Amino acid sequence: METEALEKAKVESWNGKPSGAGASLVGQSLTFLGFIGRSTLRQLAEMGKMVLFLFSAILWFFHPPAQVHLIIQHIKSIGVDSLMVVLLSGLFTGMVLGLQGYYSLSKFQAETWLGSVVALGLIRELGPVLSGFMVTGRTGSAMAAELGTMRVTEQIDALYSMAINPIKYLVSPRIIAGLIAMPLLTALFDVVGIYGAYVIGVGLLDVSSGSYFSGMEKSVVFQDVFSGFLKSLSNGLIITWTCCYKGFNAPPMATGVSRATTESVVLSFVLILVWDYFLTSVLL
């Protein structure tokens, strides 16, 4: 019997057919590769849908009539309603930067450069990223939940039935409002953060007020401000685009709204960080 089994295995190996454990291993490898391929194609299709969704929202914005009152309404919801959380987070971010920066600079007897370190850190990186996080958590999640609820309760389908394009009516004003409000919120975040570091550095740690502002004046140039502005502008687009897409395409089920909200917040955070890296590598 053993001789027959051995001969059979040899014949199968000569015919190019794996046997036993080899066949199982090949089958598992093909299954894994198939899973990777299907996941990749699914992600590419999702990315294509998101890009087409953005192009559609931009094109419909230029289609008359202009929804100015809706843009103003969403500027209030994105900008004014997020103002307190952005200011509060900016203040304590600046205070932490003041403490940590003073501790690090004091090792090199360079405390006078505290203003430069704080201003560059906030204007170039922390201001756009952290204010984007705050707006995503405060307004982006609500945006996705609102559109998701409209999708689940068939209100978006009702707009189609009334010959109203829901992308022009619901999405385009939010994207334009995000592009307007986000740079303003980031600028306020930066100013409040610099003041928070000033309170800690000058008021608590006895850093010279003149050296604090003179170091800031010598170090911060237009390129730094432009970099922060461009990042905040792109973050406003990322937040509104991602949250509107996820909410607009929420699955019509009991957990559809919660799933869309969670996915929109997580994806916005990841895209903000990834895009921040690419912009930094280009603008440095």
Distance CA 275, CA 234 (A): 8
Q: Which residue has the higher pLDDT, 10 or 159?
A: 159
SS3 18: coil
Distance CA 117, CA 101 (A): 7
For tokens 């930067």, the residue is 97
Distance CA 242, CA 50 (A): 8
pLDDT digits (tens, 9 = 90+) for 50-68: 999 999 999 998 888 878 9
Burial of 107 (0-12, 13-18, 19+ CB in 10 A): exposed
Ramachandran area for residue 16 (φ above 0: left; ψ -120 to 50: alpha; else beta)? left
Domain locations in the chain as residue ranges: 1-62, 67-283
Q: Give yes or no for a contact between 256 and 250, defined as CB atoms under 8 angstroms apart.
A: yes
206: pLDDT strictly greater than 80: yes
Distances (CA, A) of 162 to 76, 149, 165, 173: 27, 19, 9, 19
Q: What is the average pLDDT across 177-195?
A: 95
Distance CA 125, CA 85 (A): 18
Give the pLDDT confidence score for residue 20 in this predicted structure: 57
231: pLDDT strictly greater than 70: yes
pLDDT band at 2 (very low <50, low <70, confident <90, very high): very low
pLDDT band at 19 (very low <50, low <70, confident <90, very high): low
Q: Give yes or no for a contact between 279 and 231, defined as CB atoms under 8 angstroms apart.
A: yes
Polymer length of the chain: 284
Statement: the pTM of the whole predicted model exceeds 0.75: yes
Q: What is the average pLDDT across 70-93?
A: 94
82: pLDDT strictly greater than 60: yes
Give the pLDDT confidence score for residue 21 in this predicted structure: 60
Residue 282, both tokens:
């280009």
142: pLDDT strictly greater than 80: yes
4: pLDDT strictly greater than 80: no
**H helical segments located in 199-255:** 209-219, 222-248
Q: What is the average pLDDT across 155-184?
A: 93
For the ranges 14-18, 36-40, 145-149, 240-244, the lowest mean pLDDT is seen at: 14-18
11: pLDDT strictly greater than 50: no
Helices (H) and strands (E) in the chain, counts: 13, 0
